[in-house]
Amino acid sequence: MTKKTKKIPLFASEAAERKFWETHDSTSYMDWNQAGRARFAALKPSTTAISIRLPSDLLEQIKTSANRRDVPYQSLIKLWLAEKMQEMRSGA
């Protein structure tokens, strides 16, 4: 069952739109029951550089493992971290 929604106004700028949504409830303007999941496959995720101290022997083991897989060691670390986070999210 769809509900009657208000028409979203046209905005002169992003700032005007931001101000509008700060003071208005989106449920009056959109039927969220009709919403679907958006996929933005072409977008690259933003990254942040970090510094992490590792024991030398651990870093060497990681580099050796990355070399065997023919991938950069930092990419392998990111892959392992992502896999671990996925495991934790799925409750494994």
CB 6 within 8 A of CB 29: yes
Angle at 22 between CA 17 and CA 26, to 5 degrees: 80
Whether pLDDT at 92 is above 70: no
Mean predicted lDDT score pLDDT of the chain: 91
For residue 16, what pLDDT band results from cuts at 50, 70 and 90?
A: very high
For residue 34, what pLDDT band results from cuts at 50, 70 and 90?
A: confident
Could you tell me which residue, 27 or 53, shows the higher pLDDT?
53
For residue 47, what pLDDT band results from cuts at 50, 70 and 90?
A: confident
